[in-house]
A and B are shown apart, each in its own frame.
Chain A
């Protein structure tokens, strides 16, 4: 087994939209070593959730065309996935033949043995994503027994209550008898974190865990996750648009724009407010945050509208685009220690 928890190479995903096939993720490259906390940062619609769902086999809707590899704990989860269409470099697939049986086989053979035990997920919205048919206590007991521990009935119950206490909840008996839809948003999200950690996983994947929560809850949850994950030496793959969460939790960060990674590296280099970013989009992210703190001021040129097929995806907004940017797609190139950037123009931005 490799020491990489997660290794994604050349992951490209096409989804079937109303108007035809749409490229959502474009040749994403990521490596997450064991025990690290890796943040994937990007705005809404940049393809973050799509990557998570593909890695976990949770894609809503008919799976689109996927190419590339994604190794979870050294096992390529996309290997058995039928390749629907042979892709060449530039062309967009026009039709796919959906092979439900191939997809089912992959789920049964590859994903199912890992789910819930070695790999767990903290969903975006716990109130809707958790099973409505089980009480919190029941769910927790299931998660604990997923870890492979042989515990008696009473021990399981006690352990479940302990997990609720660890999540800084009070009146745990009552909480454990409730259903998820009877909890408040913050409580449900804490329960989801407990569920993800209770089965002692090697990798925890958090899909925007702090979205839609107010500031006090957000800070609580971030602190909770930080202590929980660090104590347990689990790998955390954090997908978020919350830069504070990434800054507090992560060791490494990758910035995603319109389905491509534009910059990746250690978090203290990329997300440090005093640091001069290499990539214009990263600058834009940090600048937005700064201006928000100083009093919002309208400021243009950012959102990922559908990127051109060729060339740099950020070319539409990029103030320093050169001719090459329109013709050729920049690839991630190393810039010093563990720092990679996808930009044709040399040097720091601003």
Chain B
């Protein structure tokens, strides 16, 4: 045994003799710091992109990007000073306002009201819906993926899975239409036949009571191709994780196979979910707009329909921030699950 091989091989490793958990926490912290910087950079870019898109608008629109400091200055004065600044100056002023939580005032939706006031309650309502929808989608997708692997020989399951794809291809707005049109008629018919009482949430899209809310979550989880995508991606992730070469060593040592498969599956699955959020946010806009429920999506759609740029911009930025933060958390969890990802890039 030559010493040289050993000393060289231990030399190349920058990691000292620390305990596993200590290393994990240190590594995750440094990763989190790096990701935070990247996130801030990306968000600055996103706001810049939004700003530039808005600048491409016809001239009467860009005046709408008036700032919220209209308490001391009249709206016209603010607009004039805003218009006289350079593009970069305008952007910086706007960004300053955004960072301090000042998104300007609404132009059309609720004239003169600060956008932040509109966004805050809407954000929490939508966030609940979105989180529940994503969770249900992931759950159903995992179930279907597992079944498609284990029961792939059973024709009944294959037909069921085929039908899942079929239901997933139906857009969210069609689901909402069917729910509202069909659901209300069904409830009214049942009540007329005295099968049940008219529930409190009767004309269906009216209130986000629990039952309609649950249906909305289900629609979000299935429609617009969500479920199909999840099933397919999860299936391929599971296959990769289970077919990985290290399973030989794992099985030969009697280490718990499901745990290892789950740990290999988690990072990929989380990155698929985070990629899916962008799409589900779109479905959320359509869902809330079609149901007329208050929320970030509804706000964004109304703002777009009435060309209320400050509100639309605020909603878009808020969604981007939430998206990036979730992405970051998922990345950290994935890195914690798989040590191979902790190697510094």
From DSSP, what is the main secondary structure of chain B's interface residues? helix
Are A120 and B263 in contact, CB atoms less than 8 angstroms apart?
A: no
Top-9 shortest CB links A-B: A116-B254, A184-B9, A174-B17, A130-B249, A168-B1, A129-B249, A128-B245, A121-B252, A116-B253
Are B20 and A135 in contact, CB atoms less than 8 angstroms apart?
A: yes
B248 at the interface (CB under 8 A from A): yes
- Chain A 93-108: CB-based contact to B (< 8 A → 1; otherwise 0): 0000010100000000
B236 vs chain A, min Cβ distance (A): 17
B63 at the interface (CB under 8 A from A): no
A75 at the interface (CB under 8 A from B): no
* Chain B contacts for A173, CB-based, 8 A: 17
From the candidates A116, A123, A170, name the one contacting B6 in the complex (CB within 8 A). A170
Which of B15, B246, B260, B263 has the most A CB atoms < 10 Å from its CB?
B246
Looking across the interface, which residue of chain A has its beta carbon closest to that of B243?
A60
Are A131 and B246 in contact, CB atoms less than 8 angstroms apart?
A: yes
Alpha-carbon distance between A64 and B338 when the two chains are bound, in angstroms: 33
Are B255 and A142 in contact, CB atoms less than 8 angstroms apart?
A: yes
Are B338 and A133 in contact, CB atoms less than 8 angstroms apart?
A: yes
* Chain B contacts for A98, CB-based, 8 A: 153
Looking across the interface, which residue of chain A has its beta carbon closest to that of B6?
A170
- Chain B 224-266: CB-based contact to A (< 8 A → 1; otherwise 0): 0000000000000000000101101111111100001001100
* Residues of chain A in range 136-152 having any CB-CB distance to chain B below 8 Å: 138-139, 142-143, 146
* Chain B contacts for A117, CB-based, 8 A: 254
* Chain A contacts for B251, CB-based, 8 A: 58, 115
Given contacts A139-B253, A178-B13, A186-B9, contact A129 B20 (CB under 8 A): no
B20 vs chain A, min Cβ distance (A): 5
* Chain A contacts for B84, CB-based, 8 A: none
From the candidates B20, B23, B340, name the one contacting A181 in the complex (CB within 8 A). B340
Alpha-carbon distance between A170 and B6 when the two chains are bound, in angstroms: 8
Are A169 and B254 in contact, CB atoms less than 8 angstroms apart?
A: no
A216 at the interface (CB under 8 A from B): yes
Are B339 and A133 in contact, CB atoms less than 8 angstroms apart?
A: yes
A177 at the interface (CB under 8 A from B): yes
B93 at the interface (CB under 8 A from A): no
Are A129 and B248 in contact, CB atoms less than 8 angstroms apart?
A: yes
Looking across the interface, which residue of chain A has its beta carbon closest to that of B250?
A131
Are A174 and B340 in contact, CB atoms less than 8 angstroms apart?
A: no
Are B10 and A146 in contact, CB atoms less than 8 angstroms apart?
A: no
B155 at the interface (CB under 8 A from A): no
B88 at the interface (CB under 8 A from A): no
B16 at the interface (CB under 8 A from A): yes
Looking across the interface, which residue of chain A has its beta carbon closest to that of B17?
A174
Looking across the interface, which residue of chain A has its beta carbon closest to that of B254?
A116
Are B15 and A178 in contact, CB atoms less than 8 angstroms apart?
A: yes
- Chain B 284-316: CB-based contact to A (< 8 A → 1; otherwise 0): 000000000000000000000000000000000
* Chain B contacts for A192, CB-based, 8 A: 249
Looking across the interface, which residue of chain B has its beta carbon closest to that of A124?
B248
Alpha-carbon distance between A125 and B3 when the two chains are bound, in angstroms: 23
Are A121 and B248 in contact, CB atoms less than 8 angstroms apart?
A: yes
- Chain A 255-279: CB-based contact to B (< 8 A → 1; otherwise 0): 0000000000000000000000000
* Residues of chain A in range 144-188 having any CB-CB distance to chain B below 8 Å: 146, 168-171, 173-175, 177-179, 181-184, 186-187
B2 at the interface (CB under 8 A from A): yes
* Residues of chain B in range 10-31 having any CB-CB distance to chain A below 8 Å: 10, 12-13, 15-20, 23
Given contacts A115-B254, A133-B339, contact A171 B17 (CB under 8 A): yes
Are B6 and A130 in contact, CB atoms less than 8 angstroms apart?
A: no
Alpha-carbon distance between A32 and B277 when the two chains are bound, in angstroms: 58
* Chain A contacts for B252, CB-based, 8 A: 56, 58, 115-116, 120-121, 123
A304 at the interface (CB under 8 A from B): no
B5 at the interface (CB under 8 A from A): yes
* Residues of chain B in range 321-345 having any CB-CB distance to chain A below 8 Å: 337-340, 343
Given contacts A168-B1, A170-B10, contact A133 B260 (CB under 8 A): yes
Are A177 and B9 in contact, CB atoms less than 8 angstroms apart?
A: no
* Chain B contacts for A100, CB-based, 8 A: 150, 153
Extra A-B contacts (15), CB below 8 Å, given A123-B249, A142-B254, A195-B249: A98-B153, A115-B251, A117-B254, A121-B248, A142-B253, A146-B254, A169-B6, A170-B6, A173-B17, A174-B16, A175-B10, A177-B20, A181-B340, A183-B9, A217-B5
